[in-house]
Amino acid sequence: MDIPDVFIGSTDDGHTFVIINRRIRDADRLLTEAGFLAREHLGRTLYLLPPGTAQDAHERAGIAMYRLLAHTHDLIDLCWTTRWSPGSPVADPEIRFHFCDGTVAVTARTAAARALLERHGFTPNGSSYRPPDGLDERRLLGAVTAAETHAYTHGLSVRVDLGIPTPSDIPPAPRRPSAAAPGSPTMPAARRRTR
């Protein structure tokens, strides 16, 4: 959640949330005008939409993300609550990504879903799939995003479980290194002789 400039996700209980990881001009106004409520939580500002209809969340998040794209293209959307398509509510998605302990497990219900995952480098692991080996956090996030987006464009239903039961379980903001590193007192610079 801390890698892209903007991260949008869902909690298990159906809240839609947005985290802004770098200062973006007017982000607060853009999100609150779209109906998100700002809330301070463990050193970061969360923007929340309470559980509601997928259509409403889809429209509100779409408005906010469209406006934020004017300021950054570093935006990751792994939100299941905003996946709405007229006439096709899905209780049991064809692909399910589940984040846990720094990695992701993936299950696929259909042959089309399995083929798509394998095309993106996911390998069978018993009854589930695992991501390609050797991915750092950014590349793992990219692999999931690419597969999820590809599945969505092919009409496959997808759910991304981030392993966050409620908004209060969203992890704290990471500690940022301070600008001044502690160390020993510095010696005055020696004067340079000129000729």
Cα(153)–Cα(80) distance, rounded to whole angstroms? 15
- Compute CA 136 distance to the chain's CA centroid, rounded to the nearest angstrom: 15
Block mean pLDDT (10 aa), the chain, length 195 = 85 90 87 89 86 81 86 87 64 88 89 95 90 90 92 90 89 62 40 39
For residue 116, what are its two tokens? 């798509």
Q: What is the pTM of this model?
A: 0.79
CA dihedral angle for residue 56, residue 59, residue 62, residue 68, rounded to 10 degrees: -90
pLDDT of residue 64: 87
